[in-house]
Homo-oligomer: A and B are copies of this chain.
Amino acid sequence: MEKRATIKDVAEAAGVGVATVSRVLSGGSASAGARERVLAAAAQLDYRPSALGRNLRQRRTGGMGLLVPDLTDTFYGQLAEGVLACARSAGEPVVLGSTGGDPEQEADLIGMLLEQSVDRLIAVPSGDAETWTPAIRAGMTVIFADRLPSQASAGDTGPSAVGDLMALDGLPPAPPARPLDVPAVVADDRAGIRTAVRYLRGLGHKRIAFLGGPGHEGRAHAFRGAVGAPVDEELIVSGTGSRDSAYAAASGLYQSRPDLSAVVAGGNVLGEAAVLAARELDLRVPKDVSLVMYDDVPWAELCSPPLTVIAQPGRDMGYRAAELVLRAGTRRARSVVLPTELIIRGSCGPRR
């Protein structure tokens, strides 16, 4: 284990000051002669600038953070690959965290990233605006991917009039948890879900269920919009994130509503659960129940029958998000919406 050469060694070897070395290596201006000597000395000594010194000086760590709920979920694997590809081409490190879909762990990881002075972050958020305020206030450049934080504040269940009435009482009860002005790279969930529902409707299905997970509120909302009033809320169920709970949710759905004839799964883990639960209950796909799954994953084709899916470009999503977060500072990032595509395979049939 030999000692690494420092900028000082290079300066000495090249017969110049450290400032000149720094300038040459950072692309600053320098005379041709000096540049040449510095480069030669650096090569000779196998000098690699230490990120440690640079980071401390600049009071920020290079690279970016990446927070996803679960790397076992193939879609997030794709997304991470996209981020890594962009980071690699920029020569930047990526520090990774897996939140398990738990806002508390997410908050912990944000804290860890702050401690590391990582000031650029790509996240598939699990917590709400409150979880993310510390990061924003600390000056982090945050880009959301795949989805936005759920808006826990506006009482989802109660009529919105209540909120308005309360506002009349006087001072606003709190910063009204405005939608957190953070750019995002997401798929066009609305269009994706709508296309899927229309497709199922076209096959004659009337009772279509939505099987979601945590963080799929947006897709559930899009689903409500796509089926139109009146919405049968019993047909919209949600697991808590684990594979077990997804399975339980799917199984419960089939059993409590045997009249349903089609299911839209809000993610590939949910789709997996929907298939397994159907098999366990001797429901044949697509004869007894039709199935559309969000996310096109390699194994969707291996299923029996191959799954009809709403494809969203996971890798692109990650790549674009990484581009945005790297360009930020240069230019205020603007959100991006990527297209989805309904890929018809064999898991949907006419209503029995």
Binding site for B on A (CB under 8 A): 1-2, 4, 48-53, 55-56, 59, 61, 63, 66, 70-74, 76-78, 80-81, 84-85, 88, 91, 93-98, 105, 108-109, 111-117, 137-139, 243, 269, 272, 275-276, 297-299, 301-305
Contact = CB atoms under 8 A, between A and B. Distances in A.
Given A72-B77, A72-B81, A84-B97, A115 B302 contact: no
A90 to B, nearest CB: 11
Contact of A88 (B49, B97, B272, B299): B97
30 contacts: A1-B139, A48-B111, A48-B114, A51-B115, A53-B56, A55-B55, A71-B71, A71-B80, A71-B81, A71-B84, A72-B74, A74-B74, A74-B77, A80-B96, A80-B98, A81-B98, A85-B98, A88-B98, A88-B105, A88-B108, A88-B109, A93-B97, A94-B95, A272-B299, A272-B302, A276-B301, A297-B299, A302-B304, A303-B303, A303-B304
A119 B290 CA distance: 52
A56 B52 contact: yes
Nearest to A92: B112
A265 B303 CA distance: 18
Contacts of A63: 95
A49 B115 contact: yes
A97 B96 CA distance: 10
- 3 smallest beta-carbon distances between A and B, as pairs: A304-B304, A1-B139, A299-B299
A4 B88 CA distance: 30
A343 to B, nearest CB: 15
Q: Among A48, A81, A96, A109, which residue has the most Cβ atoms of chain B within 10 A?
A: A96
Contacts of A2: 137
A194 to B, nearest CB: 27
Contact of A97 (B77, B78, B94): B94
Contacts of A269: 298
Contacts of A108: 88
A265 B311 CA distance: 27
Given A48-B111, A114-B48, A117-B50, A84 B96 contact: yes
A85 B50 CA distance: 28
Contact of A115 (B48, B111, B299): B48
Nearest to A116: B51
A77 B81 CA distance: 11
Given A51-B116, A52-B116, A70-B81, 12 more contacts: A52-B56, A53-B56, A71-B84, A72-B77, A80-B96, A88-B108, A93-B95, A93-B113, A93-B116, A96-B96, A299-B303, A302-B302
